[in-house]
Amino acid sequence: TDISFVTYAKKIGNRRIWLRNEAYVKLKDNGSYSTYLLPFLSHFSNYYLDYDSGECDFKITCNNETVLLQIANGLYDTQYVYYSTPDFYCEMSLNTIDPYYGDQWALNNIGQEGGEAGVDINV
Q: What pLDDT shows up at residue 1?
A: 47
Helix, strand, coil percentages (3-state) for the chain, rounded to 5, are 25, 30, 45
Q: pLDDT digits over 61-115, tens only?
A: 998 888 999 999 999 988 999 999 999 888 776 677 888 876 776 777 777 777 7
- DSSP assignment, residue 100? T
Q: pLDDT digits over 12-65, tens only?
A: 787 888 888 899 999 998 889 999 999 999 999 989 999 988 888 999 999 888
54 torsion bin: left (phi>0), alpha (psi -120 to 50), beta (else) = alpha
**Whole-model pTM above 0.75?**
no
